Structure 1
């Protein structure tokens, strides 16, 4: 029998229902209010600072400054973090698809917070994923940082992350958010952002990434420390295959494509973007020093300083990446051969690589290098005494040394390594457009990692006979001479007291012979010393120095007649600028390496103003060009027009010049074969090449290899061959422009001399066979 509830009991139950119902809604609304207040307080910054509107407009992305060539190639970067900004349109489509499919499938549906994913994460207590959207991950990367493990702090951080994510969604488009996310993620190995990662791991531009490579990078978004393809290829392959699976589920690739791509091995072309490696390393360091001064003189609109390491500047240079590569190839090809011969010649030299200096002088050179080394500076900073440091220099240690066949691990004392590196021949090459002053090539040495001294902008070396055109130009200008005028090649003395000479000076020709009456064109072609001495005697050293400075040479020059033979130290940069004046019809144009500088927003913040001034009239400049053409027609540069540039040794047969076009040039060799030069010109390109050891007492024993025609000219020939093969460069093969109504006689007969070929042949020897 059913028991009927009393009215009192019914009323009690109803009262309880109402009470708990009201309590539930109170808790619900109070909870909502507390949550709302919590998010409001968080947005006000009561739980820690939040990004302002300005911050969201300009997030601190710490962008690397890019150095861009005239043909649009990134030569290198200056950075604390190697990060470059890409626009959404620059990202490969397959990478964007893989990213969304793997990290945030509903990215285009939510407004920063994925409600469905958040509820799933709460219900599973995080075991099914953290539900962070791409926007939330971006917020954490830009303004938030790593989360705390302490629950209250973690809740606060998550709230801030949500708020920033919503603000980012309001401020930016979906595509902009994807681009920002791809630009700020740290992929390890000093690579921040997809652009840097693509170059570091695959040596590619992002647009060239394959689906497989994009999947590898997307897989790294989960944890780049764990999924590092260099250290953990197995884990990376597994993670990549997960990404490919997600792409297949999203119908972005077919099942067959997935299977095929998942079977591929992890293939890298890993190369760290380093300040000391890559293309145009010496130029990039020269530019860095320039930019340090530039930022002191140029301020941001708000008056603060630019930072070349994080402001994302784009420095557009005049360097042509193709020509730069050809010049570096030319240096490597020729210098490896020269170095092999240099080691051979020093094999039995007990004082190698030095020649004709005392033991005391040798020790002075070695000690000076020791005290200027980074090792000495580091040990000094550790408060080591000189005796302790010197002792350490004589203790054998493991080290990696440079050879032309690659780096080599060895054991030797630091003192022996100093002497080892003294053996290496160095080189400097610069090319410039004479009409614009634009520098197209800058090779300051053979390997920046091991030899940091810049032999283009820093190193002034004795120029030898390449100085003689300045003497001839002065003579033609002041004495109204022409290339066809004759002069006696015979014994000549400048007496004591004349031109400040302290004792009689009697210059001699390199072959100790005299040729009698010769034209100026013959005299320069054969580089006759007595003629240069007679000309400077007539015009005075002061006049030659004045003209040389007008041509752009900044070196101090001693007022003495011997400068006519090249006893002057000048940089490659100044020599190229000076010779360019002749090719530019007598107008000096200051060399320039910058086109413009842009800020990270693409606004031009600096454009250099070209500088130029008249030095010679067109007729005189053209007369010098015709003189210099004689050098490559019948003089020391005539090997440019022969089958080979060497001495019959098979190591030298890689230089088949056979140039047919007009070339104006001049070789130069300093005393004791310490410096070899070649200055070569065509109408729209002037290139200077210097070769020599760091110390002038280290050099070839004879002129067979120790002259400019053997040391420097082959680099010019190899480089120009490459440039002419590249039709996109449009390097001229035409004649130099002849002035209208030319008043100077320049067309005179010069008999073609037989090209002297070196005949000394030596068997090949591995560089690594050399020992101290």
Structure 2
């Protein structure tokens, strides 16, 4: 019987065998677990062959312009042959010089790391190839710790090897350069080129390419904008590596190595500048549509990777005209406003509203999460730090405390602009603010009081109730006892006589509007507003006539479409068609299978309500009322508060509209229309404290110039259809005569009334008194005073 040969081994051989075999067995065990996906996904070659970093949902405007796309990362994909060769050479020199000779894993580099880093304690880099880095970027690590570090490296090596079996070296370089992060939420070489050098990656010179290649080691530490000295040192190393491997000559190194970094930083690079606020609404609408279509079409809501082509209603030519108009006016207004608030700062030290904004900020939340005490946070709040401030003249570097930076941005005036086709409902332009990055809150959706811009709704209700444009109404100063003696006044402080309704609307006579509201009735006004698509709660008192109900610019502007569309408000349409990546049409506006007739609008208090916009709704005003309002609002532009559009801006085509200035000049509105477009604009501040106290304060000075410049821009855009010179017959086919004088003085009647009331035309009549005994005696007392028989009571 033979003895066990292993048992006869000396102990030291057994120990040595175990020492050698155990790590191998453990490694094989970990390798098999990694390969099976226990420590994270390990895609097969089929999945890897279907990689598509450029399969995001693409947005197309109605005039055929690609507006942008929905991506999970801030990236623009460019093919390798459109990237500067300087960038490729710099990348290979500093990251992976043997890239073209290995199969995804550089075993020489791994051996160097093992010997020098692990055994000798020297830092020689991680030894990862570009392909391994690509694998890491495509399939990020999922944990930390010693074991995960080993398994992550194994997983990346496996994936890298498979990538190499699927793609050519140039294809891998293209994937890498379009996927790698350069920091600041900037992915891919194209966005990095624009961010740091304001140019395309195709135009990068040697200096710039070396700088960007150097950033990749540590994107924050070597950020050329924030840390130029470190970035310059790193760039020099890249240049020396390129020389070492024969990619550039020594004289090229000498030319660049002592030069400062040529940074031309553009913080907005990568932010799609075509209608960014509109894109937010498109995303919401698109996700809603896909929720409905998803089951039938097997589509998900991953807009960054489903390859859809979305055709939108927006016209970039009209959008551009609106953006330029907003920019030109707001730049001028802000300069005037800044001079005004220099003498009276809006927000003081330790201002509660500023502190409230601070406590809602990400910076404050992050400091709290890090366990920083409130005392330390308070110190940080008031400590100046380097910052890059937005201004109308471009970004400027300065040192400013977080508190003062918040005060600075809260002191900006802002504006919104919205345009819609009055018959098909296509949203043509959407400017949600002056700068999306710094002021993301959408002014088109913000709920504010519209002031006199609401009056056309009131007058439409009156016309619906049987009044006519040539009915006359007293211009009487009245005091409403039931409403804390509220006394609405006219802007010109002129009272007496009578106004025709069409002239009262054109001149925006407040006293007439308030009386008209009382006679028409709040329920009739509410019903008319609802029939025109307005769901904002309306107050019960007479102040409803002056636009004290809060509503959005979108809501009120869309309501005006009823005037031009025979009494029916249109449904706002954002998306007209959706195609799959295979070219299949899966949605078209008006699709009965998709419930897109409910538009959610924010109202006061942050609630959301559903508007009654629906192509099948019976709610409407009569076509006679609609046509009458078009003619009355045309008169407002020709002879009333909108006349600067004719006199100052020289707009000659068919046009109607109404201004609106809210109490204390907080907001200025203008809602206007041509035969083929309804548009609205609003100018205001962050809240009621951010406003003009002096000139320019009225809407005719703040909001109307945006409309005027917009219309000028429209007429000067060659490839846009001409704006019609007249409204279509059905838009102005009113049954009422408009041939009446604007005012009647009625001096004799006024004198008789003054005699019996004891008040002149510029003294308010008290509405709502209930002391009947006092009323009975008043007439006789006043007659006695006039005749000198009765004297006033003495106190």
TM range (shorter): 0.5 to 0.7
Whole-Å Cα distance in 1 between the matches of residues 139 and 510 of structure 2? 71
Could you tell me which residue of structure 1 aligns to residue 185 of structure 2?
190
The runs of 5 or more residues in structure 1 that have no matched partner are 1-36, 251-255, 355-361, 644-656, 753-772
Could you tell me which residue of structure 2 aligns to residue 715 of structure 1?
706
Mark the CA change 1:491 to 1:101 in structure 2 (over 3 Å): closer, same or farther.
closer
Mark the CA change 1:373 to 1:140 in structure 2 (over 3 Å): closer, same or farther.
closer
Match for residue 266 of structure 2 among 260, 264, 271 = 271
Match for residue 744 of structure 1 among 735, 739, 745 = 735
Whole-Å Cα distance in 1 between the matches of residues 412 and 213 of structure 2? 46
Is the 2:333–2:702 contact (alpha carbons within 8 Å) kept by the matching residues of 1? yes
1:68: Cα distance to partner? 6.3
Could you tell me which residue of structure 1 aligns to residue 383 of structure 2?
397
1:56: Cα distance to partner? 2.1
Is the 2:104–2:157 contact (alpha carbons within 8 Å) kept by the matching residues of 1? no
Mark the CA change 1:338 to 1:264 in structure 2 (over 3 Å): closer, same or farther.
same
1:396: Cα distance to partner? 4.2
1:472: Cα distance to partner? 2.2
Could you tell me which residue of structure 2 aligns to residue 567 of structure 1?
548
1:634: Cα distance to partner? 1.5
Whole-Å Cα distance in 2 between the matches of residues 384 and 172 of structure 1? 44
Match for residue 72 of structure 1 among 59, 65, 71 = 65
Deviation string, structure 1 residues 258-306 (Cα, Å, up to 9, x no partner)? 9999999975543345899966455555666767877877758898974
Query: Is 1:529 aligned to residue 513 of structure 2?
Result: no
Query: Is 1:694 aligned to residue 680 of structure 2?
Result: no
Is the 1:634–1:751 contact (alpha carbons within 8 Å) kept by the matching residues of 2? no
Mark the CA change 1:55 to 1:470 in structure 2 (over 3 Å): closer, same or farther.
same
1:639: Cα distance to partner? 1.3
Mark the CA change 1:44 to 1:288 in structure 2 (over 3 Å): closer, same or farther.
closer
Whole-Å Cα distance in 2 between the matches of residues 618 and 173 of structure 1? 67
Matches within 5 A, 1:266-305: 267-272=262-267, 280=275, 282-283=277-278
Whole-Å Cα distance in 2 between the matches of residues 249 and 502 of structure 1? 83
Whole-Å Cα distance in 2 between the matches of residues 247 and 583 of structure 1? 72
Could you tell me which residue of structure 2 aligns to residue 475 of structure 1?
462
Could you tell me which residue of structure 2 aligns to residue 359 of structure 1?
none
Match for residue 370 of structure 1 among 355, 360, 363 = 355
Could you tell me which residue of structure 2 aligns to residue 552 of structure 1?
533
Deviation string, structure 1 residues 425-447 (Cα, Å, up to 9, x no partner)? 33232223333333343333444
Q: For structure 1, which segment, 402-411 or 298-307, has the greater mean C-alpha deviation from structure 2 after superposition?
A: 298-307
Deviation string, structure 1 residues 469-488 (Cα, Å, up to 9, x no partner)? 1122233334273xxx4232
Whole-Å Cα distance in 1 between the matches of residues 217 and 295 of structure 2? 37
Mark the CA change 1:532 to 1:56 in structure 2 (over 3 Å): closer, same or farther.
same
Whole-Å Cα distance in 2 between the matches of residues 410 and 136 of structure 1? 41
Could you tell me which residue of structure 2 aligns to residue 29 of structure 1?
none
Per the alignment, in what secondary structure is the counterpart of residue 696 of structure 2?
helix
Deviation string, structure 1 residues 401-444 (Cα, Å, up to 9, x no partner)? 66655557456794x77766665433232223333333343333
Mark the CA change 1:636 to 1:559 in structure 2 (over 3 Å): closer, same or farther.
same
Mark the CA change 1:73 to 1:489 in structure 2 (over 3 Å): closer, same or farther.
same
Per the alignment, in what secondary structure is the counterpart of residue 540 of structure 2?
coil
1:682: Cα distance to partner? 2.3
Is the 1:422–1:694 contact (alpha carbons within 8 Å) kept by the matching residues of 2? yes
Q: For structure 1, which segment, 505-514 or 524-533, has the greater mean C-alpha deviation from structure 2 after superposition?
A: 505-514
Could you tell me which residue of structure 1 aligns to residue 780 of structure 2?
none
Whole-Å Cα distance in 2 between the matches of residues 504 and 239 of structure 1? 79
The runs of 5 or more residues in structure 2 that have no matched partner are 1-27, 117-124, 591-595, 598-613, 744-795
Is the 1:468–1:566 contact (alpha carbons within 8 Å) kept by the matching residues of 2? yes
Whole-Å Cα distance in 2 between the matches of residues 159 and 379 of structure 1? 37
Mark the CA change 1:566 to 1:278 in structure 2 (over 3 Å): closer, same or farther.
same
Is the 1:83–1:196 contact (alpha carbons within 8 Å) kept by the matching residues of 2? yes
Mark the CA change 1:509 to 1:134 in structure 2 (over 3 Å): closer, same or farther.
closer
Whole-Å Cα distance in 2 between the matches of residues 721 and 713 of structure 1? 12
Is the 2:312–2:575 contact (alpha carbons within 8 Å) kept by the matching residues of 1? yes
TM-score (norm 1): 0.67
Is the 2:78–2:190 contact (alpha carbons within 8 Å) kept by the matching residues of 1? no
Could you tell me which residue of structure 2 aligns to residue 4 of structure 1?
none
Match for residue 463 of structure 1 among 441, 450, 455 = 450
What is the CA RMSD across the aligned residues, in angstroms? 6.0
Could you tell me which residue of structure 2 aligns to residue 16 of structure 1?
none
Whole-Å Cα distance in 2 between the matches of residues 132 and 345 of structure 1? 59
1:575: Cα distance to partner? 1.3
TM-score (norm 2): 0.65
Could you tell me which residue of structure 2 aligns to residue 24 of structure 1?
none
Per the alignment, in what secondary structure is the counterpart of residue 722 of structure 1?
helix
Whole-Å Cα distance in 2 between the matches of residues 184 and 463 of structure 1? 47
Query: Is 1:626 aligned to residue 619 of structure 2?
Result: no
Is the 1:60–1:142 contact (alpha carbons within 8 Å) kept by the matching residues of 2? no
Could you tell me which residue of structure 1 aligns to residue 646 of structure 2?
641
Query: Is 1:431 aligned to residue 431 of structure 2?
Result: no
Query: Is 1:580 aligned to residue 588 of structure 2?
Result: no
Could you tell me which residue of structure 2 aligns to residue 180 of structure 1?
175
Is the 2:653–2:726 contact (alpha carbons within 8 Å) kept by the matching residues of 1? yes
Is the 2:475–2:511 contact (alpha carbons within 8 Å) kept by the matching residues of 1? yes
1:561: Cα distance to partner? 3.6
Mark the CA change 1:101 to 1:464 in structure 2 (over 3 Å): closer, same or farther.
closer
Could you tell me which residue of structure 2 aligns to residue 330 of structure 1?
325
Could you tell me which residue of structure 2 aligns to residue 672 of structure 1?
664
Q: For structure 1, which segment, 628-637 or 295-304, has the greater mean C-alpha deviation from structure 2 after superposition?
A: 295-304
Per the alignment, in what secondary structure is the counterpart of residue 651 of structure 2?
coil
1:548: Cα distance to partner? 1.2
1:457: Cα distance to partner? 0.9
Q: For structure 1, which segment, 208-217 or 677-686, has the greater mean C-alpha deviation from structure 2 after superposition?
A: 208-217
Whole-Å Cα distance in 1 between the matches of residues 407 and 247 of structure 2? 64
Per the alignment, in what secondary structure is the counterpart of residue 337 of structure 1?
helix
Whole-Å Cα distance in 2 between the matches of residues 391 and 258 of structure 1? 46
Q: For structure 1, which segment, 572-581 or 519-528, has the greater mean C-alpha deviation from structure 2 after superposition?
A: 519-528
Mark the CA change 1:94 to 1:512 in structure 2 (over 3 Å): closer, same or farther.
same
Whole-Å Cα distance in 2 between the matches of residues 92 and 572 of structure 1? 44
1:543: Cα distance to partner? 1.7
Mark the CA change 1:605 to 1:521 in structure 2 (over 3 Å): closer, same or farther.
same
Is the 2:75–2:186 contact (alpha carbons within 8 Å) kept by the matching residues of 1? no
Is the 2:141–2:152 contact (alpha carbons within 8 Å) kept by the matching residues of 1? no
Is the 1:489–1:514 contact (alpha carbons within 8 Å) kept by the matching residues of 2? no
Whole-Å Cα distance in 2 between the matches of residues 164 and 666 of structure 1? 64
Mark the CA change 1:496 to 1:508 in structure 2 (over 3 Å): closer, same or farther.
closer
